[in-house]
Structure 1
Amino acid sequence: MTAAFPPVAELVPQRPPMLLLDEVVAAGADDITCAAQVRPDNLFVIDGRVHASVLLEYMAQAIAAFAGLRARADHQPPALGLIAACRNFDLHAEHLAVGDPLQIVATRVFAGAMAEYRAAVTRRGQPLAEAVLSVVSTAPSSTSAGSPA
C-alpha cells in the first residue's frame, strides 16, 4: 500500500468526538503509521491535558486503520475487532498537552482470528508509550468502517 490514503473516518468505526487520529501517513504489508494532534475538543482533555493512558486508544485506532486499509485492498468489508489483551503497556509520560503532535506506529506480528500487534506512540520523536495488543476479529460488518484485525 502506498500514498494517497483515504480519510481515517473511512477506515475505522470511531466517529467524532471519539475519532482521535488525523491521518494515515504510511502503510506497508504489516505496518501503519498514523498522525494525530491532541485537540482541545478531545473527549479526554481535562485542564488542557490528556492522561497518557489514552494512548492505548490511539494505538487501537491505528490498528483499526491498518485493518481498514487491508480490507479495502482485498475488496472485503471490514471485520469488527476487539482488544483481547494488552501486554507490556509502558508509558514514558504522565500527560499529553493540547496541541501535542503524535505519531502512532503499529506493526502486525501475526494474523488470523486473533492477531498480535506491536504499537508505539511518539511525540516529536520522543517515546510516549509502547504495547503489544492482541486483537480478536469477528465477522465482517456492513455497518462498520474498519476494524483492528
Structure 2
Amino acid sequence: MNTLYDIERVVPHRGTLLLIERLLEWDEESAAVELQVPADGPFNAEQGVPAWVGVEYMAQTIAAWAGCRARRAGGEPSIGFLLGTRRYVCAEPYFRPGAVLRVEARCELLGDNGLGMFACRILEGGNELASANVSVYEPADAKAYLENDEA
C-alpha cells in the first residue's frame, strides 16, 4: 500500500488555487483525488464552477501523482506544466456547488524528457461527468527552465 500523503505535501499549489482536497489512492500508473465543489471561489459563476475548470482538476490530480512519486523517492514535488488537452467532454456546463467529485488520472505515456500523457476522468457518485486526455511537461529543473530565455 502506498502512503496517502496530505495533499499539500504532494502538489505545489497553495491558497485558493489548490482545487483538490484529498488524495484517495495512487500507484505507479495512476492517482485518484477528491474535492467538494465550492459554493464560492476564484472560478465560481452563478450556476457553479464552469466545466472547463475540470481540466485544472485533472492537471492537479496529475501533479499529486507526480508529487507522490517524488516523495516516495525522497524528493520534493516539482513544478509541472499543463500543455493541453484532447477530447475534453463534460456532461454538464457547470459542476454543482457542494458536489463531491472524484478525479482520476492514469499515466498512458511518460517520456524520459518529462513529457507525459494521462487519461483522466471526473466522477460524482460513480457517474462519469467528464473525461479527457491531458498532456503535461515536468522539466528536470523547473527553475532553470523558467529562467531560460528560450523557455
Matched to 1:11, the amino acid is V
Q: Give the structure with the higher percent helix.
A: 2
Moved more, 125-134 or 56-65: 125-134
Q: Which has the higher contact order (CA 8 A, sep 6+)?
A: 1
Aligned residues: 141
What pairs up with 1:5-44 in 2 under 5 angstroms? 5-44=4-43
TM score, norm. by length of structure 1: 0.87
For residue 115 of structure 1, what is the aligned residue in structure 2? 116
For residue 69 of structure 2, what is the aligned residue in structure 1? 70
Matched to 2:73, the amino acid is D
What pairs up with 1:48-127 in 2 under 5 angstroms? 49-112=48-111, 113-127=114-128
Q: Give the structure with the higher percent strand.
A: 1
Superposition RMSD on alpha carbons, in Å?
A: 1.6
For residue 146 of structure 1, what is the aligned residue in structure 2? none
What SS does structure 1 have at the residue aligned with 2:134? strand
- Unaligned stretches of 5+ in structure 2? 144-151
For residue 139 of structure 2, what is the aligned residue in structure 1? 138
- Unaligned stretches of 5+ in structure 1? 143-149
The alpha carbon displacement at 1:102 in A equals 0.2
Identity rate of aligned residues, in percent? 28
Q: Tell which structure's C-alpha radius of gyration is larger.
A: 2
